[in-house]
Structure 1
Amino acid sequence: MSPDSATLPPVRSVPFTSPLSWLARGWRDLWKAGGASLLQGAAVAVFSLLLWVLGRDKFGLLVGALSGFLVMAPVLATGFYVLSRSLERGEPARMAEVLRTWLFWQSHYRSRWDHDYWCLVRLGLLLALAGTGWVLTSAAMITLLAPAPVRTPYDFLLLVVLAKDNNLFELWLVLGSVLAAPIFASSVVSIALLLDRRIGLWRAVLTSWQAVLANPVTMALWSFLILALVLVGMATFMLGLALVMPWLGHASWHAYRDLVDSSGLPERQPRSEEPGMGHEQDKAIGS
């Protein structure tokens, strides 16, 4: 282990309008990747639509599930990061590369029990736990505090959003924000960083926080744009998510590349798949 292995990679301060550039570059990557990107977006849209169909009569629970979906979005975006990284390297952006990354994302490890091997899985489980906690909290809050059962979007609008005799909607928003803010700060660049470079889980999370703290106004705009686009996708009976999710996934890759100077860290997945290349890299890095 090198002496500076515990230090964080440098983060950059970026202009306030950078999120617009990320969206523009993400849009370009979306169409360059083509079917490989749109196929993943369609899978997200179909899953969301099924969630809507199954929970349409229990809207109080559905609202929590759909908002919890946002918590898991950074993990779902991993496939889009893979495609944008391939395009950045001048390599073909193919679905085969996405599948290979999901199934054998660190095929060159000496041992798959290495502490660093499971970092993405661990972060995904933490986000899943946070999302599940929010779903249960949201459903319990709406069930217990709403003046009548909330079964439809109209019920939610009438009994929660527009209710004048309680502050349920405000409380729901505050608690949701309290959960969402630290999750956003922890995951906005950490998953892309973990995918791209050999770095431990907590160093990646701290780097993500550092990027947010260095660019608070810019990242507030970025979070607003993410929320707005996802809501547009959901408002089209989830079908718009087939386009919105790939777009945001590719844009998030460019956010990571602009915000974090990861050049001092070794690549997690070598550019070349020559036998032994990753093994030698692991020897040089250690754990």
Structure 2
Amino acid sequence: MPSTLSRNPSMDLPVPLSVGLMQPLGWLVLGWKDMCRAPALSLAHGLCLTLFGLLILWIGHDRFWLMAGALSGFLVMGPVVATSLYAISRALERGEPVGWRLVRHTWSHWQQGHSKLGNDYWCLVQFGVLLSISATGWVLVSASLITLMSPVRIATPLDFMQHVVLAADGSLFHLWLALGSLLAAPIFASSVVSMPLLLDRKVSLPQAVLTSWLVILQNPIPMAVWAGLILMFTLLGLASLLLGLVFVMPMLGHASWHAYRDLVDASDFALREAAHGVPGR
């Protein structure tokens, strides 16, 4: 049984749970099973994301920093884009029908019962804006670092590969990687369970983000393993000219739902939507 931190009523936050070191591997297995149980919906998500990524590559193939910025935003926004994948996994977990109507309902009515004038109605948009700002900040910092320290002007992906990644003196590339890891860590900590929690329970954006940070503090090693697995599979998808993302993105999206279920006890908070509330088609 997972252990829990004692609930602090004054904080009014869901309770983070402890998981085993290799639990992230189990989330991937469950994510793959969910993808196989709803293959058309899952792969349609992956295909749409892949086509969008290919469009970015086509537009920015000779404008390296434009492409890097768009791809960074694309990847950072993954937890938001995967919202309907979380809903699919939730429906499968509840034994509810799964279909295109569920996907439409997730994006159009998930915030049902909240006033459009309230912050809670717009928390998904707010979280997406925060992640977009974070991605933009990384690209600006990255571009400044490479521009200032590279011996030649970097204008295309080939320039970056030749003069940064494959340079005889790899110090700039190592510095670039270290800086990227430093900036990516708080983004990961803020988003690891935030979107599934916002979808599942009536919590505010600050509550979701703080809970996500508490999960990291409760499970630093398993969360490092989870981050490494996400990075590894994402890189494999990118290395296959993005085609592997057709399978990788939905698998990671479904797996993130199971990560949330193992990492957070939100039973004291009301469900955003009662079980068996949405038909499949």
Q: Give the TM-score normalised by structure 2.
A: 0.90
CA distance 1:271–1:83, shift in 2 (3 Å): same
Please tell me whether residue 14 in structure 1 is matched to residue 55 in structure 2: no
CA distance 1:186–1:193, shift in 2 (3 Å): same
CA distance 1:64–1:145, shift in 2 (3 Å): farther
CA distance 1:199–1:56, shift in 2 (3 Å): same
Letter in 2 for 1:150: I
CA contact (8 A) 1:15 1:218 kept: yes
Match of 1:249 among 237, 247, 253: 253
Partner Cα distance (2:151, 2:97) in 1: 55
Please tell me whether residue 45 in structure 1 is matched to residue 50 in structure 2: yes
Match of 1:56 among 54, 57, 61: 61
Partner Cα distance (1:181, 1:166) in 2: 23
Partner Cα distance (1:36, 1:238) in 2: 19
CA contact (8 A) 1:56 1:62 kept: yes
Question: Which 5+ residue runs of structure 2 have no aligned equivalent?
Answer: 1-7
Please give the residue correspondences for 1:38-187 in structure 2 after superposition, counting only pairs within 5 Å. Answer: 38-109=43-114, 111-164=115-168, 167-187=171-191
Partner Cα distance (2:24, 2:192) in 1: 12
CA distance 1:62–1:144, shift in 2 (3 Å): farther
Deviates more, 1:147-156 or 1:19-28: 147-156
Please tell me whether residue 226 in structure 1 is matched to residue 197 in structure 2: no
**1:163 Cα deviation (Å)?**
2.5
**1:64 Cα deviation (Å)?**
4.3
Question: Which 5+ residue runs of structure 1 have no aligned equivalent?
Answer: 275-287
CA distance 1:63–1:106, shift in 2 (3 Å): closer
- What is the aligned length? 271
CA contact (8 A) 1:68 1:134 kept: no
Partner Cα distance (1:167, 1:57) in 2: 25
Deviates more, 1:134-143 or 1:232-241: 134-143
Deviation sequence 1:144-199 (CA, Å, 0-9, x none): 43222334444222211233457321221122112100010010001110110011
CA contact (8 A) 1:58 1:150 kept: no
Partner Cα distance (2:70, 2:97) in 1: 35
**1:141 Cα deviation (Å)?**
2.9
Partner Cα distance (1:41, 1:26) in 2: 13
SS at match of 1:92: coil
**1:264 Cα deviation (Å)?**
1.4
**Hey, what does 1:270 align to over in structure 2?**
274
Partner Cα distance (1:64, 1:137) in 2: 11
Letter in 2 for 1:134: W
SS at match of 2:15: coil
**1:137 Cα deviation (Å)?**
2.5
CA contact (8 A) 1:211 1:260 kept: yes
Q: Identity percentage over the alignment?
A: 54
Partner Cα distance (2:10, 2:127) in 1: 20
Partner Cα distance (1:74, 1:60) in 2: 23
Letter in 2 for 1:85: R
**1:221 Cα deviation (Å)?**
0.6
Partner Cα distance (1:146, 1:18) in 2: 41
**Hey, what does 1:24 align to over in structure 2?**
29
**1:21 Cα deviation (Å)?**
0.3
**1:61 Cα deviation (Å)?**
4.0
Letter in 1 for 2:173: F
